[in-house]
Chains A and B, each alone.
Chain A
Amino acid sequence: EVQLVESGGGLVKPGGSLRLSCAASGFTFSSYSMNWVRQAPGKGLEWVSSISSSSSYIYYADSVKGRFTISRDNAKNSLYLQMNSLRAEDTAVYYCARGDTVTSFFDYWGQGTLVTVSS
């Protein structure tokens, strides 16, 4: 059974940093692209970032470019999102999601982790 479990969310002050993790199991992690998608409270889905299976291709939404860094460790079956210079508008539930290729639909999603940016 495919499982994606996010962790690392919490309350952080504006300008602060946070690192999210996503632990994957039930599939060959190194064969799939991975993604982060966020959802602000009461709002719609927003794609954040994608990384190819071997980390050769990495893409970011304009709203996070230069502040967020996506990475993965295939030996640990883990995906990460390093978030720096956080703003109030980054407050959201962050989901990790599996993709077929680096630009793809997302067939499995984690349960999400809440990031709140507030003073």
Chain B
Amino acid sequence: DIQMTQSPSTLSASVGDRVTITCRASQSISSWLAWYQQKPGKAPKLLIYKASSLESGVPSRFSGSGSGTEFTLTISSLQPDDFATYYCQQYNSYSSFGPGTKVDIK
């Protein structure tokens, strides 16, 4: 099974900050990685797929990069609506999620 890790587990930031979240896979997953945003009591929302492809309707301040085992999600200028928990997901072999990164207000 492919294990996913994320760092940091919690990130405190201010509106306007550039934020970067890292996701690592226990073995190569090529570019088969997605990122999701989840707010309390809501279903996850797809942000990025295939490591760097922006889902339709998602603001361009979100971007993804990486391949193989190391990936990043970047928010170029954090907005009030972006305070949430972010999960990575590999879909190279079945599926598995990272443990999540909570972005809260500094």
Give A residues with C-beta under 8 Å from B: 35, 37, 44-47, 50, 59, 61-62, 95, 103-107, 109-112
Chain A residue numbers with a CB within 8 Å of B100 are: 44-45
Known contacts A105-B34, A105-B89: A47-B46 contact under CB 8 Å: no
A109's partner among B32, B43, B95, B99 (CB-CB below 8 A) is B43
Supply 9 further A-B pairs (C-beta < 8 A) apart from A103-B91, A109-B43: A37-B97, A45-B97, A47-B89, A47-B94, A50-B94, A59-B94, A103-B94, A105-B89, A112-B43
Quick check: is B44 within 8 A (CB to CB) of the other chain?
yes
Chain A residue numbers with a CB within 8 Å of B45 are: 109
Known contacts A44-B87, A45-B87, A62-B1: A107-B46 contact under CB 8 Å: yes
Question: A44–B97 contact, CB under 8 A?
Answer: yes
Q: How far is the CA of A47 from the CA of B2 in the complex (A)?
A: 12
Q: Find the A residue at minimum CB distance from B49.
A: A105
Quick check: is B82 within 8 A (CB to CB) of the other chain?
no
Q: How far is the CA of A106 from the CA of B89 in the complex (A)?
A: 9
Question: B95–A50 contact, CB under 8 A?
Answer: yes
Question: B97–A106 contact, CB under 8 A?
Answer: no
- Most chain A beta-carbon contacts within 10 A, residue among B34, B93, B95, B97: B95
